[in-house]
Structure formats: structure tokens, C-alpha cells
Amino acid sequence: MSDWLAVAAGVAGKLREDAVAREERGAEPHAEIELLRESGLLHLLVPAESGGGGGNWPLAHRVIRRIAAADGSLGHLLGYHYFQLWRTRLFDTPIAERLERDSAAGNWFWAGVSNPRDAALELRPADGGFTVHGKKFFATGASVADHLIVSGTWTSSGRKATFTLPARTDGIRFLGDWHNLGQRLSASGGVEFTDVFVPEREVLGTQPVDGDPRQWRDSLAPLGFQLLLAQVQVGIAGGALAEGARYTTGSSRAWPLSGVDRAADDPHVLAAYGTLASRLTAAELLVDAAAAAFDDAAREVDEHRRGELGVLLSKAKVVTTEVSLEIANRVFELTGARATGAQYGLDRFWRNARTLTLHDPVVYKATEVGRHLLDGEFPPITGYS
């Protein structure tokens, strides 16, 4: 399959057809994951020699953006799927190749259980491996996944370890408690682990100590997640703008004082759409630049390159947060009162953007950019930067 963007466009078209009804139901997105599975998009990033599509990150990001424009939740899920599977390569462990081959053969959907602010999973030694105990409160996509990447903390040392296991392993319970304002189909509820056994061979790696040569490569993970969130945000913004434009040209009535017969000929409407479209393009170009820089760093990274990438991604998060919220809000000014009808579902874009942009406070991203500008400091390495 060569034209992945055409495939993504086809999937996005199907998602758009009943987006309002599906979002209103808010059910677990099993059918939507099957649509992604049937399209072949799940193995786009798997190397061709491992049975996958052989795609690269810049292509994957363009696919994510198209899906997110039609359905922010599915763009979120697909982006996390790509990153969780790709993330196995960061650990330089032989099982990464096996996991990619198995994933392509089984057409697996991946998710993660690794909320940085929730260190509640404990790992305790057991014969042949270890057991996992505890609860994670947010685990996007885990309840509809085939395979999981999970992070927990060793009770003996306090260090974190990352491992993989099937999502239906005995002792894993999905809480089904995601009932939020937006991203309703992202399956972001909690997960509980009760005496879950994990064989030693499924460990991807342990948190590196200071001075470990793997430290900088391992630290790319939080930046990868930030990049995906920025990408989904511009996708949501693009979807809101396109949906608003369709309504304006097809349904909006011209205001009596405008002097025109069509709302789409009102110079105020034209200027507003033109301004929003220009800002959206600027945000997309910034995210594309960040995606290219991330791709370069994934090949070769050191402290300086990692720091520069962190600053660039903080800039992308600041801009995409502002643009996604502005566009998702202002489309109502440009479509009119009747566009607030529930049957149109224009509010889903704002609710999705507002929910996603609260993942971590963007003011701290702006502060990181300002600190680098004024003092030359790079952002600190955390679970969010």
C-alpha cells in the first residue's frame, strides 16, 4: 500500500459521516479501532522487513492530522498507537523487532499505561519475572488495545521500569470511567492491576541513571508525546475550520446590513476565515518543523540537540493550543445562531480542543521558551518536557 494519505483521507471521510452521532453516544471506540485496523494504517510505521508499511514519522504525522480533523479522539488514539509501538526502539532491546513483527502479523492496536504524575503501579519480584499492583487513572486507548506498554516502579529501588504485555492479561481491569467534556471516544479511563504477572523477557528497560549514554535517547519519549498532542490540536483546528466553512457556504444566511446575498461574500466573514486559515497554516508548519526535528533527534541525539528540540516543541504547544481554541470558538461567530443546533455538533471541536489542551499547563511551555530566550536555558527533563 503506497498512498497512505489517500487511505487516511478515506478513513477520515467515513469517520466524518457519523461523527456527531458517535460522539454523542460516547461509547468505547471498538468499531472505530476496527476501521483503522481494516485500513492497514495501524502498521504504517512498522519497517517493511518486519511486515509493515515502512513509513516514516513525517508521513505518520500527516496521517494523524487528517484523522484528527475528522475525529479528534481517533487522531489521539492513532497517534498514541504509533508512538507506543515505535517507542520500543528507544530501549535498544532485541524484543523490539519481535514486537514489531508480531504487531504487523496480528494487526495490533497499541496503547500505554504511563501517566507521569501517577506513579501508583508497584513492581514486585516473582519467579521468572515480577508482579504488578496498583491503579492508573488515565490510560488513553488501553481499554480497546491489543497490547500495552506500561511503566511501573520497583518497590526495592524506586526506579521505574517499562514493559509490555497483552491488554487482556489476567488481573487487568479497565475501569470505564472516562466521562469527560471532550475527547469522549479516546477511551482514556483508568486501569487497575491486581497481581498481574509479567515475564522478565517482556521488560523493555529500566530508567537510566545520570551519566548513562542512553539517558538522552530515553528522554525523547515525553517530547514525542508532546509532539503528538500538538499535532492532534492542529488537526482539530483544521476540522473545525473546514466544518465551519462548509456550513457558511451551504447554510449561513447573509446579515441584512452586509449588502451581499451570500454570507460567504461578506467581507468580514471572508477576512475572518482568511485570518484563521493563515494562523492554522502557520501552526501546521511549526508542528511539521518540530516533527522533522524529532525525526532527526531519534537518529542521533545529545544534550544540546535534545534541549533545542524541547524548546521547539514548547513553542509548538503554545501556538497550537492558542490556534485550536481560537478557531474552535470563532467558527460560531462565522456560522451564526442556527449553527449551534445539536445536529451539527460544531461544539465537539471546542470541547475536544479544550480537553486536550489541558493535558499539561501550556503556561509552563511558554515559560520554558521565555527562559531559553532570556537566559539560554533548556527546558528541564520531566515527564512533560
Judgement on whether residues 65 and 123 belong to the same structural domain of the protein: no
On average, the pLDDT of the chain sits at 94
Q: What is the CATH number of the domain that holds 366?
A: 1.20.140.10
Distance CA(383)–CA(222), nearest Å, equals 5
pLDDT digits (tens, 9 = 90+) for 351-368: 999 999 999 999 999 999
Query: What values do phi and psi take at 145, rounded to 5?
Result: -90, 160
pLDDT tens figures, 128-160? 999 999 999 899 999 999 999 999 999 888 888
Asked if residue 1 has pLDDT above 60, the reply is no
Query: Is a pLDDT exceeding 80 seen at residue 213?
Result: no
Q: Is residue 383 part of a domain?
A: no
Confirm if 84 and 111 have CB atoms less than 8 A apart: yes
219 and 194 belong to one structural domain: no
pLDDT-based confidence at residue 205 (cuts at 50, 70, 90) = confident
Same domain? 279 vs 169: no
Expressed as residue numbers, the domain containing 76 is 4-109
Do both 94 and 124 map to the same domain?
no
Q: Which of 64-68, 141-145, 206-210, 337-341 has the least mean pLDDT?
A: 206-210
Domains contained in the chain, number? 3
The answer to the question of residue 384 being in a domain is: no
Residue 254 counted as domain residue: yes
CB-CB contact of 164 with 201 (8 Å): no
Cell readout for 40 is: 492497514
Question: Mean pLDDT, to the nearest integer, of 100-117?
Answer: 92
Q: Do 286 and 182 fall within a single domain? A: no
Say whether both 127 and 173 belong to one domain: yes
Residues 307 and 221 placed together within one structural domain of the fold: yes
- Amino acid letter, residue 157: S
Domain boundary among the residues 83, 109, 135 is at 109
Is the pLDDT score of 253 beyond 60?
Answer: yes
> What CA–CA distance (Å, rounded) separates 328 from 331?
6
Q: Kindly state whether residue 326 falls inside one of the protein's structural domains.
A: yes
Check whether residue 148 and residue 93 sit in a common domain: no
pLDDT of residue 206: 85
DSSP per residue over 293-335, as a string? Answer: HHHHHHHS--HHHHHHHHHHHHHHHHHHHHHHHHHHHHHHHHH
Q: For residues 178 and 254, state if they share a domain.
A: no
> Who contacts 274 (Cβ-Cβ below 8 Å, separation ≥6)?
none
**HSE on the CB side for 5, CA within 13 Å?**
6
Residue 8 has pLDDT above 90, yes or no: yes
CATH of the domain at 81: 1.10.540.10
Q: What is the pLDDT of residues 219-243, one digit of tens each?
A: 899 999 999 999 999 999 999 999 9
Among residues 92, 109, 126, which one ends one of the domains? 109
CATH code: domain of residue 137: 2.40.110.10
Give percent of the chain with pLDDT exceeding 70: 99
Name the domain boundary from 109, 131, 164.
109
Are 53 and 46 in contact, with CB atoms under 8 Å apart?
Answer: yes
90 pLDDT band (50/70/90 cuts)? Answer: confident
Is 98 within the bounds of a domain?
A: yes
Query: 350 in a domain, yes or no?
Result: yes
